[in-house]
Structure 1
Amino acid sequence: MSSLFELVLLAPESAIENLGEALDALDALSVSVEDADALTPAEQALFGEPGMPPPKEGWQRSRVQALFATEAAARDAAQLLQAQDFFDGCEVLGVQPVAEQDWVRLTQSQFDPVEITPSFWIVPSWHEPPAAAQQVIRLDPGLAFGTGTHPTTRMCLRWIAAQGHDQPRVLDYGCGSGILAIGAAKFGARHLDAVDIDPAAVEATRLNASANHVQLTAGLPDAAQGVYDLVLANILATPLKVLAPLLCAHVRECGYLVLAGILSRQADELRAAYSPWVSLSVSDEEEGWILMTARKA
């Protein structure tokens, strides 16, 4: 069984919440925070009451350790984090392999079926679908982002389920595991393109599509061709701003653009970035993350 890799960061207390949310969005398998000054005269006591959250998210100087499935995923996460505004004052200490364990058993124990709507569920292969499930995506945790457990993924899938069968031609940009393209197929999309800069994500998408009996074209970003009835992009705010002209160019007239990976406080900057082409609005919110959508005039 191959090793996992740990991204180690040094961060001030003020950055811990944003770092944790971003690492979650980047599909870190686990995130831990400890006092970087432990066992020194600068060590701080930080304890909460039993059954209550701690009084602070982190220490004045916190050591953040995030576990990833591959070295490439850990290094990509480090690069993306360093591009974020909230990374100011933080430092990447390194990426290192961690000792091998029975990670398959550990990971399986942490993933149960995920409800998107009462009749639409994401179900790992080792679980039976709930009795109420009319639509099911079979998806196991893997090397690419998107298992249905993160709020950004759930909001995208809820939007797809609510829209029904109105988007026959769909682009999933930054597809990760391919979960959004597969979800669109479950609700009637007939032509599906899924693209990602990570070849491992492209392969994961192909495998997951096959497991769900979905036909799609998966490839690197240049595989996205022409215009689509629906363009989905669940990434992070900074790359979404950079990609604004490209993503909008792929949306046909009267087509939909759905963006996720955005914190609620980033709504105005996304609206401004996309204003030359579409008028974005917040259509869903969960745990501090928002879904922004637009229909192209």
Structure 2
Amino acid sequence: MFELNLLCPEERVDVLSDALDALDALSVSVEDADAQTPAEQALFGEPGMPPPKDGWQRSRMVALFAQESGAKDAATLLQAQDFFDGCRLLGIQAVADQDWVRLTQSQFAPVEVTPDFWIVPTWHEPPAQAKQIIRLDPGLAFGTGTHPTTRMCLRWIARNPVQDQRVLDYGCGSGILAIGAAKYGATRVDAVDIDEAAVTSTVLNAQANGVILTAGLPETAQGLYQTVLANILATPLKVLAPLLCSHVAPGGALVLAGILERQAEELQAAYAPWLQLDVADAEDGWILMTAVSAVAVI
């Protein structure tokens, strides 16, 4: 393997990425060229959403090629293009052979939800204190337990009675919340997502964990549920307010995550016509908001 290293301004990142892809780069990564210096810039987006910009003011791009000749040819072709103006070739270097599978796996350890509830990759042994575990490997779908929003939802499931309930996981991603609800005794769990890849991921993860649930597109959600879970983002949660509330059974719970602390009042206002949301948990600037539907009086 060989790395082609480039330095470029922010406005050239997108076109260079496309060009490197066309030149058969195995992968392309973008880093802040000023990282670990006073000029370093923070650049991040909310989970599941793209970052606000494609790169930094001074971006270092690293393209991986199978052969040195491929890296050299790409460098020659790029330097001849008009769009390379303002960019610079930093060099080409060999990449030491490594056990990439083992290296990747070493970066993902078991994740604690509560002292006795853990998310454990398949290549790890569960911690001795774990009484309940979810087996889940990092994948394409959002929700592997490493993000505070996922952990807060799972903590809520572990600490609230979902046994024998009908539960809806709206925007299921990897299916981790639906699996958690099933592990804690929910008798009927529906997991829905607009992304068919997420639905497939949920089905596979449920099978790997030995739980039964129904996964599908949003129209799969039908009727009332004693617990409705939605770990998405604040903006879609506001849009979905009437729909999500319509699925909460009398006396049932609505559990929302993907919300920053500063967005609490926005969500409370959006849901006020149907339910009163309160902050139930907080971690690293993120909050969990819950509401209980009124019990119908006969």
Same fold by TM (over 0.5)?
A: yes
Local SS of the residue matching 1:155: helix
Query: Matched residue of 2:290: which SS?
Result: strand
Residue 147 (str. 1) matches residue 144 (str. 2): yes
- Over the aligned positions, Cα root-mean-square deviation in angstroms equals 3.1
Matched with 2:232 is 235
* Structure 1 moving runs of 4+ over 2 Å: 45-48, 90-93, 96-107, 164-167
Give the match's secondary structure for 1:77. coil
Provide the C-alpha distance between the structure 1 equivalents of 2:64 and 2:207, rounded to a whole number of angstroms: 32
Given the alignment, which residue of 272, 275, 291 partners 2:272? 275
Residues 85-121 of structure 1 show CA distances to partners (whole Å, capped at 9, x for unaligned) of xxxxx5457xx99648976434312110111111111
TM-score when scaled to structure 2? 0.70
1:163 pairs with one of 148, 160, 163: 160
Alignment of 1:109-148 (within 5 A): 109-148=106-145
Partner of 1:71: none
1:47 equivalenced with 2:37 (yes/no): yes
Tell me which structure has the larger Cα radius of gyration. 2
Any residues of structure 2 matched to 1:1-297 within 5 Å, and which?
A: 34=32, 47=37, 58-59=40-41, 64=43, 77-78=49-50, 90-92=52-54, 99=64, 104-166=101-163, 168-297=165-294
Alpha-carbon contact 2:163-2:187 (below 8 Å) kept: no
**Take 1:181 and 1:98, find their aligned partners in 2: how far apart are those partners?**
38
Check conservation: 2:238, 2:267, Cα contact below 8 A. yes
Given the superposition, is the C-alpha separation of residues 134 and 269 from structure 1 closer, same or farther in structure 2, using an over 3 Å criterion?
A: same
Partner Cα distance (2:226, 2:62) in 1: 43
- Alignment partners' CA distance in 1, 2:62 and 2:175: 27
The answer (yes or no) to whether the contact 1:282–1:290 under 8 Å persists in 2 is: yes
Which AA in structure 1 matches 2:223? G
Instruction: Say if 1:181 and 1:193, in contact at 8 Å, map to a contact too.
Output: yes
CA distance in 1 between counterparts of 2:44 and 2:260 reads: 22
Distance, in Å, in 2 between the alignment partners of 1:274 and 1:167 is: 27
For 1:243 and 1:65, how far apart are their aligned partners in 2? 25
Distance 1:104 1:275 in 2: 48
Q: Secondary structure at the match of 1:279?
A: coil
- Unmatched 5+ stretches in structure 1: 1-8, 12-30, 39-44, 49-55, 67-73, 82-89
Q: Aligned pairs, how many? A: 233
Aligned amino acid, residue 32 of structure 2: E
Rounded Cα–Cα distance in structure 2 between residues aligned with 1:10 and 1:167: 53
Q: Is the 8 A contact 2:30 2:62 kept in 1?
A: no
- What amino acid is the match of 2:37? F
Give 3-state SS (helix, strand or coil) of 1:145's partner.
coil
